[in-house]
Amino acid sequence: MVDNDERRAPAHRRPSEGLEARARAGIVVTGTEVLTGRVTDANGPWLVEELRARGVEVGQVIVVGDRPADMASALRYLAPHHELLITTGGLGPTADDLTAAVVAEVQQRPMRVDAALESRIQAIVDRLYAVRGWDTHRDDVRAGVRKQALVPDGAHVLEPTGTAPGLVVPAPDSTPGPPVLVLPGPPRELQAMWPAAVAAPLVEAALAGAVPLLQSTVRVWGPPEAELAAVLRTHDAEHDVSGLEITTCLREGELEVVTRYSPAAQDAYTELEATLNSAFGDRVFSTDGRTVDRLVADLLVDAHATVATAESCTAGLVAARLADLPGSSRYLIGGYVTYANEAKSAAVGVPADLIAEVGAVSKEVAVAMAEGARHRAGTTYGLSVTGVAGPDGGSADKPVGLVHIAAAGPDRTRQRELRLGGGRDVIRARSVTCVLHLLREALTGQE
Amino acid sequence: MVDNDERRAPAHRRPSEGLEARARAGIVVTGTEVLTGRVTDANGPWLVEELRARGVEVGQVIVVGDRPADMASALRYLAPHHELLITTGGLGPTADDLTAAVVAEVQQRPMRVDAALESRIQAIVDRLYAVRGWDTHRDDVRAGVRKQALVPDGAHVLEPTGTAPGLVVPAPDSTPGPPVLVLPGPPRELQAMWPAAVAAPLVEAALAGAVPLLQSTVRVWGPPEAELAAVLRTHDAEHDVSGLEITTCLREGELEVVTRYSPAAQDAYTELEATLNSAFGDRVFSTDGRTVDRLVADLLVDAHATVATAESCTAGLVAARLADLPGSSRYLIGGYVTYANEAKSAAVGVPADLIAEVGAVSKEVAVAMAEGARHRAGTTYGLSVTGVAGPDGGSADKPVGLVHIAAAGPDRTRQRELRLGGGRDVIRARSVTCVLHLLREALTGQE
């Protein structure tokens, strides 16, 4: 498969019809701000993964705005084919947060105020407002608390993890159908409520009999997708892979092979992993779920090694990514954003003559930056990136997408020339991933 | 509204039932990698915004995996209530890319190979493979090209912008219904194809009569959501706002008030903007759509000013964000990632004694870092961030979320103490936004 945008490029996919039938859940994500992309939904994907681990499949996630008619329509559409429906969002204290009322209507259950719940929510709001010095005795605050304590008849209440309670609302008494699990929108509240949600009797019953699936990930650095596709085709022809659901995804030059399988298909998965290891050798950099970020962090800690950066076009992204993981102060000392040429000379000692001679985007300057960062910061390793991220500043000689990276270590300095496609953001992000892999290779002694 | 997670916190929303009836489009996003969150969908939100600008409303976006039954079911569910359906993804050359076949089935149209299209796709593939030195005369490549040239009977072909053609597939001849616009998954391909897609006769006809809506955004820095909600309530009571669809969203401390309205409601919008300006004064930092990033960039260029950074917990994110916009080399000189204490002293000259005395996370060290960055890099402004991002490293005295920021300028150094909630990522991201606002205030002379 040839694909110009690798943020979105499955090299090989396989429908999961081969796996045994599983319990299914349908998800309705609510909120105009999500529908229009001003806020990226984190809850849909999080729930899909949590449910998958429990052996529950999600076939569809529907994002709706704040219109009650759309929300009700989506719930009614999903109901016949699912054992459980889940909504996220729309549980706030204001009148436009409508989810509980819409679910009550769909499940044909009148709403009533749960007075004990109202007191508990009021206590939470009092505490939150006190911290900020706000007044909670206003009428609109009281009205909001009362609204959040409105519960559909027969619903099971999940205690608030923010201010909003969750709900498990049974199907109408007269009609069979799935219960609706109503969860709050803020991801931290939703995730905190999840253990109580899956333990609720109606949810537990809906998911009973689901066989948890295993998931394993093999990550490969370097080969074109076509090569992976050919390896998988050959493996398919020679092995029974009917128990495996294989998804591959190319992301920033890393090929991710994610396989889901029931415990009964463990041997089939072991064979697949052996095939990938044998085909790609040390280009397979992870089979235990670790990302390159985690691997590099672990390798640095194991080696008691430290690192510093010198960055031009990425302007801090490499250092920031090294600091993403908690505990990064054990190996990240610091770095230099050397965006202007004078900064390259002043901060990490790249000779101005060298820049004048070969240009700031060059193998020689990348090497000098990496060695300069290592030397100035006194670290085990120095990393550098210098390139043309565009959209302007390219030339025939040094086009947009040309990036030089280097990793200076105790033994020697590795360097690489990259020719990257895509826009400014893509070029910068991909450069960061490439230099992390260069550091990984230096740490493992890989050529 | 009180909300713990501000990435997802609409303070005030208003259903859009008040606006005149509009043409509606339904979107089906395909791909298991999107459903499971390994890839974030960029196409749904992009299409929602493009359609909105044309006066077409999208009520629902359905994300489905690669199962044909789910995809067909989603299309059949949306068809009765929409003038146009759009699919994204699943147009690749491999057998598991099924969208065209599913749409053909739903619209009851047999598929046939378009021989002329097959030659054009083959020519594209030949060019792409030649660049990479790959062989295109393999049977599987030929089969993939032929598959991509399979077109439902009566469909309008949109020329490939990658290798995959788009399609406009009419409703079944026997049954009225919306046409389905079939677009490729890679966002750059989809966006490049969009002008041809909306110009296709069936799409044009489906969207005829839609009145383009205007959209304006007011951005406010600082006030609690409750204060904004109260201002909006008072405005509602005193003005006719029935022609306005107002959505508010709190993001990293910035309150965004996005209003959509037909040209006839221009006066009502002007009144709303006046209310916000009068209530919040210079806390309103943007009414023309510019983000704080764009504003700061424009202010720096106008002032012929330059900037450098010294970052501890954000470790490069401030510099990287300053470099996000093309042309940033006009004002960003460079920066220092001073993660370890010794780096704070060596790189930007913070006295080791000072750190020992007041601690690395302190007002004094933030000021010294900002002034040190300004001095060392020779820039007009120096920005700094030092804080406890967690999850470890907090104390009773200096808890996780305590961050000191500073902006050193020609006249004086501004500094601020932040107490941020949320996890490590949230604390770091929010610190970046706060220091950009501090720079904005320095550039505008705001107190």
pLDDT at position A384:
98
Cβ partners under 8 Å of residue A418, min gap 6:
A387, A401, A402, A403, A404, A405, A430, A431, A434
Q: CA-CA distances (angstroms) from residue B303 to A212, B298, B330? A: 61, 9, 11
Whose CA is closest to A66, among B17, B213, B54, B21?
B17
Report which DSSP code applies to A412.
Answer: -
**Which of B8, B75, B309 is most worth mutating to test chain A (most A CB atoms within 10 A of its CB)?**
B8
Q: How far apart are CA A442 and CA B153, in angstroms?
A: 56
* Contact A93/B at CB under 8 A: yes
Alpha helix stretches (DSSP H) within A208-265 = 225-238
pLDDT at position B133:
66
Whose CA is closest to A71, among B29, B65, B11, B60?
B60
Q: How far apart are CA A179 and CA B447, in angstroms?
A: 54
Tokens 């789910």 appear where?
A: B70
Spatial contact of B184 and B163, defined as CB atoms under 8 Å apart: no
Q: How far apart are CA A194 and CA A192, in angstroms?
A: 6
Q: Dihedral angle at the C-alpha atoms of A96, A101, A105, A111, nearest 10 degrees?
A: -150
Q: How far is A176 from chain B (nearest CA, A)?
A: 21
pLDDT at position B135:
67
- Domain residue ranges in chain B: 20-207, 214-286, 292-444
Listing from the earlier edge strand, what are the strands of the sheet with B254-261? Answer: B9-13, B244-251, B254-261, B214-221, B284-286
Whose CA is closest to A316, among B278, B310, B186, B232?
B310
In chain B, what is the straight-line distance between the N-terminal and C-terminal CA atoms, in Å? 28
* Contact A119/B at CB under 8 A: no
CATH class of A292-444: alpha beta
| Interface confidence (ipTM) of the complex | 0.81
One-character DSSP codes across B274-336 = HHHHHHHGGGEEESSS--HHHHHHHHHHHTT--EEEEESTTTTHHHHHHTSSTTGGGTEEEEE
Average pLDDT, chain B: 90
Say yes or no to pLDDT of B241 above 90: yes
Phi, then psi, of B391 in degrees rounded to 5: -75, -20
* Contact B337/A at CB under 8 A: yes
In CATH, the number for domain B20-207 is 3.40.980.10
CB contact under 8 A, B337 and A340: no
What average pLDDT does range B183-198 have in this prediction? 94
Q: CA-CA distances (angstroms) from residue A232 to A198, A245, A268? A: 37, 12, 13
Spatial contact of B249 and B11, defined as CB atoms under 8 Å apart: yes
Tokens 């493979």 appear where?
A: B129
Q: Which of B46, B67, B316 sits opposite A319 (nearest CB)?
A: B316
Q: How far is B152 from chain A (nearest CA, A)?
A: 22
Residues B338-383 have pLDDT tens digits of 999 999 999 999 999 999 999 999 999 999 999 999 999 999 999 9
Q: With respect to CATH, is domain A214-286 assigned 3.40.50.720?
A: no
Whose CA is closest to B292, among B437, B446, B131?
B437
Strand partners for A414:
A407
Residues B310-346 have pLDDT tens digits of 999 999 999 999 999 999 999 999 999 999 999 999 9
Q: How far is CA B201 from the centre of its chain?
A: 30
pTM of the model: 0.82
The chain B residue lying nearest A332, using CA atoms, is B339
pLDDT at position B14:
40
Whose CA is closest to B75, among B87, B66, B83, B89?
B87
Q: Which of A7, A327, A332 sits opposite B39 (nearest CB)?
A: A7
pLDDT at position A209:
76
Q: How far apart are CA B312 and CA B314, in angstroms?
A: 6
Q: HEC states along B71-139?
A: HHHHHHHHHHHCCEEEEECCCCCCCCCCHHHHHHHHCCCCEEECHHHHHHHHHHHHHHHHHHCCCCCCH
What average pLDDT does range B252-281 have in this prediction? 93
What average pLDDT does range B372-396 have in this prediction? 96
Tokens 């209440």 appear where?
A: A157
Ranking A207-221, B271-285, B407-421, B433-447 by mean pLDDT, the lowest is: A207-221
According to DSSP, the β-strands at B254-261 and B214-221 are antiparallel
Ranges of beta strands (E only) in B116-242 are 150-152, 156-158, 166-169, 180-183, 214-221
CB contact under 8 A, B316 and A336: no
Tokens 């870092």 appear where?
A: B369
* Contact B253/A at CB under 8 A: no
Q: Which two tokens stand for residue B202?
A: 């069936």
Ranking A133-137, A311-315, B91-95, B262-266 by mean pLDDT, the lowest is: A133-137
In chain A, what is the straight-line distance between the N-terminal and C-terminal CA atoms, in Å? 28
pLDDT at position A223:
76
CB contact under 8 A, A52 and B36: yes
Whose CA is closest to A323, among B427, B7, B373?
B427
Q: How far is B405 from chain A (nearest CA, A)?
A: 17
Spatial contact of B84 and B204, defined as CB atoms under 8 Å apart: no
* Contact B222/A at CB under 8 A: no
Spatial contact of A319 and A332, defined as CB atoms under 8 Å apart: yes
CB contact under 8 A, B8 and A314: no
CB contact under 8 A, A224 and B189: no
Report which DSSP code applies to A161.
Answer: S
Residues B16-31 have pLDDT tens digits of 444 445 689 999 999 8
For residue B46, the chain A residues in CB contact (below 8 A) are: 37
Q: How many CB atoms lie within 10 A of CB A118?
A: 18
In tens digits, chain A (447 residues) has pLDDT values of: 223 333 333 333 343 444 445 689 999 999 888 887 778 889 999 999 899 888 898 989 999 988 899 999 999 999 998 999 999 999 987 767 899 999 999 999 999 999 999 999 999 888 877 766 666 667 777 888 888 999 999 999 999 998 889 999 999 998 889 999 999 998 989 999 999 999 999 999 998 878 888 889 999 998 777 788 889 989 999 999 988 988 887 777 899 998 989 889 999 999 999 999 999 999 999 999 999 999 999 999 999 999 999 999 999 999 999 999 999 999 999 999 999 999 999 999 999 999 999 999 999 999 999 999 999 999 999 999 999 999 998 999 999 999 999 999 999 999 999 999 888 998 999 999 999 999 999 999 987
The distance between the two most distant Cα atoms of chain A, rounded to a whole number of Å, is 84
pLDDT at position A132:
64
Q: How far apart are CA A113 and CA A244, in angstroms?
A: 49
For residue B322, the chain A residues in CB contact (below 8 A) are: 315
Q: Which two tokens stand for residue B447?
A: 């107190």
Residues B229-240 have pLDDT tens digits of 889 989 999 999
Q: Which two tokens stand for residue B350?
A: 């913070």
pLDDT at position A131:
67
pLDDT at position B130:
74
Q: At what angle do helices A187-199 and A43-53 cross, to 10 degrees?
A: 30
CB contact under 8 A, B5 and A187: yes
Whose CA is closest to B245, among A169, A203, A32?
A32
Which of B 5-64 lie inside 8 A of A, CB atoms? 5, 7-10, 12-17, 31-33, 35-40, 42, 44-46, 48-49, 52, 58-64
* Contact B346/A at CB under 8 A: yes
Q: How far is A379 from chain B (nearest CA, A)?
A: 11
pLDDT at position B13:
36
CB contact under 8 A, A49 and B35: no
For domain A21-207, the CATH architecture is 3-Layer(aba) Sandwich (3.40)
Q: How far apart are CA B214 and CA A365, in angstroms?
A: 49
Cβ partners under 8 Å of residue B390, min gap 6:
A326, B400, B401, B423, B424, B427
